[in-house]
Amino acid sequence: MDKMIMSRMEYYGYHGVFAEERKLGQRYYIDLELEMELRAAGESDDLNLTVNYAEVHEVVKKVVETESFQLIEALCERIASVVLDTYTSINAITVKVTKPHPPFDIHFQGVTIEMRRTRK
């Protein structure tokens, strides 16, 4: 299966267990792997035969920036669900949500949740 990979899209969202996280917000990085057939688009150079990644970006942006979840697991699941529901040509999706600055008094580069979902 062919893949479209969208790497390190950056959004500002209001997610977290702590009230301050949901009030102040923070940056999130989203990576997607969209599994679909891309041969026809590649051979024809026709945008209508693929998924417009600018549109996918806007779909993900709407979820991250207008909805609010306590867990980034829930955010990850929601992104996968919305993208699969929006684009029927996508057979499977892998979503990675990275919270680069969790509110802990420890030093590390962040927390990432990764999920792969397939069309039911």
Q: 79 — phi, psi (to 5°)?
A: -60, -45
Going by pLDDT thresholds of 50, 70 and 90, the confidence category of residue 108 is confident
pLDDT at 109: 78
Give the per-residue pLDDT at 107: 73
State pLDDT tens for residues 20-41. Answer: 889 999 999 999 999 999 999 9
Quote the mean pLDDT of the chain: 95
Q: What is the pLDDT of residue 75?
A: 98
Give the residue numbers annotated as catalytic, written as ranges: 99
What is the set of domains in the chain, with CATH numbers?
Answer: 2-118 (3.30.1130.10)
pLDDT of residue 103: 73
pLDDT tens digits, residue range 37-69? 999 999 999 999 999 999 999 999 999 999 999
Question: Which band of pLDDT confidence, cut at 50, 70 and 90, is reported for residue 76?
Answer: very high
